[in-house]
Structure 1
Amino acid sequence: MRVLIAAGGTAGHINPALAIAGALRAADPTAEIHFAGRKEGMEYGLVTKAGYPFHHIEINGFQRKLTPKNIGRNVVALYHLALSGPRTSAILRQVQPDLVIGCGGYVSGPVVRAAAKKGIRTAIHEQNAFPGVTNKLLAKDVDVVFAASAAAVEKLGAPEKTVVVGNPVRPEILTQDRAAARAALHAGNRTVILSFGGSLGARRINEVVACLCGWEQKTRQNILHLHATGSRGVQLFQDLAAREGFAPGENLVVKEYIDNMPQLLAAADLVISRSGALTLAELEAMGRASILIPSPNVAENHQYYNALELQNAGAAVVIEEKDLTGETLIHTVQDLLAEPGRLTAMGAAARTLGNPHSLDLITSKLLELVKTAQ
């Protein structure tokens, strides 16, 4: 079995694609799995590090706001779009796939569409409650549509072939020992708060978390706070700490980047973060309460719709960035901590939204799809 997976843009697209690739390889050790994506994108580093063959195709999205800079970007996007057809054909000839899977990002569009036109078995996976444009366009052409959320089914426009499977998560997320994770952090009986805004860092999250950290230390809360600033937030957070009068120490650990996320999620009682699909899938799999701050800078405002699902289930509190202040965050944390058992109940609600069998469902359907083509 030869498989070509197209995914790009963000970790929320690429990590589920890598999880699917790993599950397919586990189910069929003889499977040849290839990836298509942009060399300049995040996918190149993640895919090649995982050891899969990578096929370069350059494709960009069009900018809707017409500024002089964006007009130039759109000219480049048109150029790459014109080249995408021949490049896609060359990749398909080289790989000769039995199955092509699109996991999101602009790169999925030309690859999956060309494969479908050639009669190759195709599938897409939509990670968000509000589907992206690429997957909505592809849904009518592919053989199977995987949706992470039931809320996405009608929006994708192909309910008769859409299967709700959740978002696949890294196996190490599902195998963490909470007691061991907390012991490693010397958490004791403290409430563990984990906060982050992504690998680059989100300025607004750093600003309001700094206010929260100042409140925690001034009021001597029984909290162990773990915060990741992101690469662009290191100096900013140091300046904010000086302004707010707090410092890292026994009850506050500040890092640029979290490289042991499964362990920290296992130890956490409350998570403060953006609401990308991958993050939410891991919160659901772990069963963690959260305060979610959707990024306003994403297509179709999909992070907001992702977050609403958790809030509606009683698993999270959503604060839109336009309403976000340090005081708002402090009061929200205060309210959650003031009610005994509230965080535990929210975590239990989050767990009901996750699907620990997501990878099994996806893999089984994909293997069945390939079998019907033989």
Structure 2
Amino acid sequence: MTTSPLILLAAGGTGGHLFPAEALAVELMKRGMRVRLVTDSRALRYSGLFTKDLIDVVPSETLRGRDPWSLARTGAMLAAGTAVALNLMRKLKPAVVVGFGGYPTLPPLLAARLFGIPGIIHDSNAVLGRANRFLSSRVSAIATSLPGVLDQDPDLAAKTTTTGTPMRPAILAAAGVKFEMPEPKGPLRLLVVGGSQGARVMSDIVPGAIERLEPALWSRLLLVQQVREEDMARVRAVYDRLTINAELAPFFADLPARLASSHLIISRSGAGTVAELGAVGRPSILVPLPGSIDQDQFANAGVLVQAGGAIRIAQADFTPDRLAAEISGLAAEPARLTAMAAGAGTVGKLDAAERLADLVAKVAGI
């Protein structure tokens, strides 16, 4: 009996890395391939396709500083992780190793190279992350979510395929929900999120912006906002005082469905968020996380802005007055929201998992 090929997926232990890996795994399993996940210990907190018997934990460490101690600690942890990963390669003999970014992908992909096993990296951002940049010259193929990421490097561009970001089933279901333009005096559904851990800036700015809206708009708002526990009381106090119809929580398990039901989303612009906004096709106001070395969130938001699907506001300019003006303007022109939804939808690639699975099969020679 011929054993079906094993595809080893390597991802950092956050949703932004794990969700695309899981979506690819579903597609690969449909095609009769076996899958395992190699990651760090954080992934054990996530439920989903990857049960504990399908996960191999490899030691890793994110580079947290450029001082000698940080460099030495990261180097030692990655060396230890590579030793563990070498044993995994020897035992599992995968056909391909696919990395989804984050420092935990370094040990398995470096070990795969040492064993002569083909490697693929996937990057959801508009610029390559640091781990993927290091691996880019050491893998057989590169997949990007967005076009033009490596156009300035002909050697890397030659082995790059634009696949999009593989989407979990809940996002694909949400993508089937048509955007409904708000009626001029009807409900306006506003969703405010800040990434997997929430964002304090949303609690600092959004309530003040809502307070600056015309009172006639207050009664129209159906507001859903992700709020950290430590910010909950002060945010709720503002909305209660204004009698805003607001649902507040630190986390929403049904976020894809909430995206689909919204007229406008206010959010950070992480790669996963931008990909999901494109897939579902919803208008947004995006506030990139400042201070990033690569300014990846600024570039990610730019993709939706260029498509006409988003308004990008630098955090330094993200004030209650500015946000109130943007919300008021969009509420007064519902047709503009519809046009933004259509623009955002041009960025989404709903067949990304299939495209990436095709690339995996090609590199594996399956």
Q: TM-score normalized by structure 1?
A: 0.87
Contact 1:295 1:303 in 2 (8 A): yes
1:200-227 CA-to-partner distances (Å, cap 9, x unmatched) read: 2211111111113334584443221111
Structure-2 change in CA distance of 1:332 and 1:49 (3 Å): same
Contact 2:127 2:296 in 1 (8 A): yes
Find out whether 1:16 has 2:20 as its counterpart: yes
Deviation at 1:47, TM superposition (A): 6.4
Deviation at 1:72, TM superposition (A): 4.3
1:265-323 CA-to-partner distances (Å, cap 9, x unmatched) read: 11001000010111111111111000001112444121110001111221100011121
Find out whether 1:175 has 2:173 as its counterpart: yes
Which segments of 5 or more consecutive residues in structure 2 lack a partner in the other structure? Answer: none
Amino acid in structure 1 at the alignment position of 2:171 = I
Which segments of 5 or more consecutive residues in structure 1 lack a partner in the other structure? Answer: 183-187
Find out whether 1:311 has 2:305 as its counterpart: yes
Contact 1:48 1:54 in 2 (8 A): no
Quick one: distance in 1 between partners of 2:305 and 2:297?
12
- Following TM superposition, the consecutive aligned residue runs of length 4 or more in structure 1 with deviations greater than 6 angstroms are none
1:316-339 CA-to-partner distances (Å, cap 9, x unmatched) read: 000111211111111111122222
Match of 2:233 among 238, 244, 247: 238
Deviation at 1:342, TM superposition (A): 0.5
Quick one: distance in 1 between partners of 2:296 and 2:14?
14
Q: Which residue number corresponds to residue 44 of structure 2?
A: 44
Higher mean alpha-carbon deviation, 296-305 vs 279-288, is at: 296-305
Quick one: distance in 2 between partners of 1:280 and 1:298?
17
How many residues end up aligned between the 2 structures?
A: 354
Correspondence list, 1:246-257, <5 A: 246=240, 251-257=245-251
Higher mean alpha-carbon deviation, 302-311 vs 245-254, is at: 245-254
Structure-2 change in CA distance of 1:198 and 1:248 (3 Å): farther
Contact 2:124 2:165 in 1 (8 A): yes
Deviation at 1:74, TM superposition (A): 3.6
Amino acid in structure 2 at the alignment position of 1:45 = R
1:174-231 CA-to-partner distances (Å, cap 9, x unmatched) read: 223647x99xxxxx941111111123221111111111333458444322111111xx
Quick one: distance in 2 between partners of 1:211 and 1:53?
46
Determine helix, strand or coil for the equivalent of 2:12: coil
Higher mean alpha-carbon deviation, 249-258 vs 362-371, is at: 249-258
Quick one: distance in 2 between partners of 1:314 and 1:279?
16
Contact 1:130 1:151 in 2 (8 A): no
Q: Which residue number corresponds to residue 145 of structure 2?
A: 148
Match of 2:357 among 337, 359, 363: 363
Match of 2:204 among 202, 207, 210: 207
Match of 1:7 among 11, 29, 32: 11
Determine helix, strand or coil for the equivalent of 1:168: coil
Higher mean alpha-carbon deviation, 207-216 vs 82-91, is at: 207-216
Contact 1:289 1:316 in 2 (8 A): yes
Determine helix, strand or coil for the equivalent of 2:148: helix
Quick one: distance in 2 between partners of 1:251 and 1:360?
41
Q: Which residue number corresponds to residue 185 of structure 1?
A: none
RMSD: 2.4
Match of 2:127 among 111, 127, 130: 130
Quick one: distance in 1 between partners of 2:271 and 2:310?
14
Higher mean alpha-carbon deviation, 83-92 vs 287-296, is at: 83-92
Match of 2:338 among 326, 344, 350: 344
Quick one: distance in 2 between partners of 1:32 and 1:49?
12
1:20-64 CA-to-partner distances (Å, cap 9, x unmatched) read: 111111121xx321111111x2x2322676325211211113233
Contact 1:34 1:95 in 2 (8 A): no
Amino acid in structure 2 at the alignment position of 1:236 = D
Contact 1:191 1:224 in 2 (8 A): yes
Determine helix, strand or coil for the equivalent of 1:151: coil
1:142-163 CA-to-partner distances (Å, cap 9, x unmatched) read: 1221011113123565111100
Structure-2 change in CA distance of 1:57 and 1:111 (3 Å): same
Q: Which residue number corresponds to residue 282 of structure 1?
A: 276
Contact 2:281 2:345 in 1 (8 A): yes
Contact 2:211 2:242 in 1 (8 A): no
Find out whether 1:330 has 2:324 as its counterpart: yes
Identity of aligned residues (%): 28
Quick one: distance in 2 between partners of 1:208 and 1:331?
13
Structure-2 change in CA distance of 1:85 and 1:178 (3 Å): closer
Q: Which residue number corresponds to residue 34 of structure 1?
A: 36
Quick one: distance in 2 between partners of 1:252 and 1:59?
41
Contact 1:128 1:149 in 2 (8 A): yes
Quick one: distance in 2 between partners of 1:290 and 1:126?
22
Find out whether 1:113 has 2:117 as its counterpart: no
Quick one: distance in 2 between partners of 1:366 and 1:178?
30
Structure-2 change in CA distance of 1:363 and 1:371 (3 Å): same
Quick one: distance in 1 between partners of 2:47 and 2:356?
20
Structure-2 change in CA distance of 1:254 and 1:47 (3 Å): closer
